[in-house]
A and B are shown apart, each in its own frame.
Chain A
Amino acid sequence: MKSSLLQVENVSKYYYRSSLERLLVLESINFSIDDSEEGQIISVLAPFGSGKTTLLKIISALEKPSGGEVLLLGKKYENPSGKIAYLPEKPSHFPWLNVKENIKLISQMRDVKLPVENINKIISLVGLSGYEDHVPNKKSLGFRFRAALGRALAVNPKIILLDDVFKSIETETKDELYAMLRDIKKELKLTFLLASANVTETIILSDQIFLMHQRPGKIIGEIVPQRLNNISGSTKAEEFTSIRKEIESAYQIENFSSSINISI
């Protein structure tokens, strides 16, 4: 039996609108991610405003849940320690530091020296070799995402949470970033948990998709598009369409098809 890398158990979250009225954002979220030796990309597919960000912040311990708990390798994960790295939707690299300094910052933070070869390896993994001294301040969103991802990789996390990070990036760059993510997954045997509202993105990128509906956010199903990896040609296109239909029908049952972004 495979052990769990991450378990989200009965996580719920509500905010108080007033002293009498409370808003339920997440309701009994349950899912787990196996401790794969290969590394994997798992997605939480959900419409806009369904609490994806709140869920990721709870998983990374940036926010406390109102109920339930998050377990990392069987242990309660309550304080952010770098084992679960969170990359927000907007660029989070520091514009006052160049690529190399952004990555080295973590060693400065932890008072340990990050070996030069590790820094160079990270820079090469995120595809920024030759840009070490570039300041990402005025660069493209893709460049900034790479720099922020490099910084997260420097802490050697167990999971990296990606909060709809590709949303504002142009399509050509997105394809490059998807490929980069797959390479990193393979090379470092790392698990990514992507929250996204884009069906196509989750199908082509993920090994497993959790479907979440909104108000309150709740997991309604699970799809494994991994099967796409083993086929090619027209069969692959057919399989892709069939997965999309599966997703759409899951949302139709829940009456949420209109709010999910299904652009390709």
Chain B
Amino acid sequence: MFSEKSRKKNIYYFLSLYLLLWIILFEFVFPVNNVLPKPSIVMLSFGDLWHVYNFGINFLSTFSIILISIVLAYFLIWLFRVPLTKGDFIYSFITSLEWFSNYIPGIILGLLLIFWFPDFEYTDIIFAFTAALFSLIIKFKKEIRFVKNEYIEAVQSLGATDNFIAKSVVWKSIEPALFNHLYKLNFYLWTVLIVFEYIKGKHGLGSVIRLTIQYQDLAAFFSTVFIIGLTIFILILLGKFIQRKYYYWESA
């Protein structure tokens, strides 16, 4: 019914409306309350975030863990694309893990890591990386089934080896879908990692949120959430730019 352009336009109208309502109601009409903070206090709290909550380091910690996990997992999938394409054992192994993931939330693995290694510094990156890797492997395995037969048969008849097909046909066929999956994965990692850090309470944006709740600092809480949202938004924009430039073909 609506074109993509007018749909986006509508979203921006609504966003502006929410912002306006928030400013009018919570800045000028309602008294200070615990539902939503005063916009002017939120503005001021940005400064506090850096001094009181050590936001810079914590933001960098969460951001880099997510980025490193995604890049490393993607790199490993690329590196092992041939055995991943051919390997029935890997497929069975991953399918069995996928079965667990249908019933047990991924965050449980993180909690187990905290349980097993309470003082280990790198549990967050191990958790985020493991989640990213398995998510990408499962996606890879799902997409392989949709690689067009005509691509494979045509080059096979020209004498292409299985390795060549795995590297140059299967991988390239599913790459756009795999890259598209990164948006979901990125959001998933932000969610589970923040929860993980919140529970662990040592560093990262989860620990900042924990502190804001502890101090009943609603404005700082909102500022943190705003920066997280903005970062995810920028990452999506960057992803779309890369996708348009490098992954312009339709996936399998």
* Interface, chain A (partner B; CB < 8 A): 57, 60-62, 80-82, 84-92, 94-96, 105-106, 108-110, 135, 137, 148, 151-152, 155, 157, 161
Contact = CB atoms under 8 A, between A and B. Distances in A.
Contact of A155 (B153, B159, B248): B159
B1 interface: no
B23 to A, nearest CB: 45
Interface of B: 148-151, 153-161, 164, 168-169, 172, 175, 248-250
A105 B160 CA distance: 10
A61 B148 CA distance: 19
A80 B249 contact: no
B42 to A, nearest CB: 46
Given A94-B169, A109-B164, A137-B248, A80 B159 contact: yes
Contacts of B250: 95, 137
A151 B169 CA distance: 14
B245 to A, nearest CB: 13
A61 B158 CA distance: 11
A157 B153 CA distance: 15
A102 to B, nearest CB: 10
Contacts of B149: 88
Contacts of B153: 57, 62, 86, 88, 92
Contacts of B151: 92, 94
Contacts of B155: 92, 105, 109
Contact of B157 (A80, A89, A110): A80
Contacts of A110: 159
B12 to A, nearest CB: 29
A238 B22 CA distance: 83
A148 B154 contact: yes
Contacts of B154: 85-88, 92, 148, 151-152
Given A95-B250, A96-B172, A109 B150 contact: no
Contacts of B172: 94, 96
A109 B249 contact: no
* 3 interchain residue pairs of minimum CB distance: A92-B154, A86-B157, A82-B159
Contact of A90 (B148, B169, B249): B148
Contacts of A82: 157-159
A35 B164 CA distance: 32
Nearest to A80: B157
A9 to B, nearest CB: 20
Nearest to B176: A96
Contacts of A61: 157
Given A92-B150, A94-B151, A137-B250, A109 B157 contact: no
A159 to B, nearest CB: 10
Contacts of B161: 109
Given A95-B249, A148-B154, A109 B169 contact: no
A229 B204 CA distance: 79
Contacts of A148: 154
Most buried by A among B160, B164, B175: B160
B147 to A, nearest CB: 12
A80 B158 contact: yes
A165 to B, nearest CB: 11
Nearest to B157: A86
Contacts of A87: 154
Given A88-B149, A137-B250, A157-B158, 16 more contacts: A62-B157, A82-B159, A85-B158, A86-B157, A90-B148, A91-B150, A92-B148, A94-B151, A95-B250, A96-B248, A106-B158, A109-B159, A148-B154, A151-B158, A152-B158, A155-B158
